[in-house]
Amino acid sequence: MGARPMFDWTSWFRKQLGASADAFVWAYSRIEPYRHEQLPPDANYMGTWPPARLVWHVSEYERCLVLPTMKQWLGGEMPRADAWPDSDVAWRAVRNRSFDTLVSAFLKTRQQQIDLLDDLAGFDWEGLYDTGWGPRSLAWVVTKTYQHTFEHGDTLLRMNLWWDIIEQENAAGNR
């Protein structure tokens, strides 16, 4: 079995990180604004966080962990284990942010990652490096970001598609 062919990681991720950001924001925008701070009606299917917290969670994950980890390949320090304030306390301190504020913060951080791809083009994307997740490749780190966007984007889409239906079923005693 021969070596894998060369892969253009930067072009691939530039496209995918941009498209997945657009899809994530679109999914959030499809949820009625009055529900952005509400808990979903089915925790098993839609999670235990309101839609706004999902957006904040993804944005802070990328700002506090992903960006600094990507910068490690350029000589940056590994993020501290406590760099990401993903807690109920941290959320309470910032909740009630507007749709525009949450989306703007997410898109700003995502664009910084996309911009950073050009600086990382010449690196070995499959070589291991010490990260907060253990020895991981740059390809793994950016793929994890892509996966995380889909994971929580899927939850936002479930909220959009099923919130009304599940509320109606709950009200009718059918759940």
67 assigned to some structural domain: yes
103 assigned to some structural domain: yes
151 assigned to some structural domain: yes
172 assigned to some structural domain: no
Look up the CATH number of the domain holding residue 156.
1.20.120.450
28 assigned to some structural domain: yes
User: What would the DSSP string read from start to end of 102-133?
Assistant: HHHHHHHHHHHHHHHHHHHTTS-TTSEEEETT
Higher pLDDT, 169 or 4: 169
Average per-residue pLDDT for the chain:
94
**Mean pLDDT throughout 157-168?**
96
In degrees rounded to 5, what are phi and psi of residue 130? Answer: -70, 125
Q: Which of 10, 12, 47 shows the shortest CA–CA distance to 31?
A: 47
pLDDT in tens, 137-157: 999 999 999 999 999 999 999
Neighbouring residues of 160: CB distance < 8 A, sequence distance ≥ 6: 27, 30, 31
Number of domains in the chain: 1
Give strand pairing partners of 129: 136
Length of the chain: 175
Residue numbers of the domain that contains 142: 10-34+45-162
- How would residue 78 be classed by pLDDT, with cut points 50, 70 and 90? confident
Task: Find the Cα–Cα–Cα–Cα dihedral 9, 10, 11, 17, rounded to 10°.
Answer: 100
pLDDT given for residue 175 in this prediction: 76
115 assigned to some structural domain: yes
- List C-alpha distances in Å: 141 to 38, 78, 111, 117, 119: 31, 13, 16, 12, 15
Neighbouring residues of 86: CB distance < 8 A, sequence distance ≥ 6: 57, 60, 61
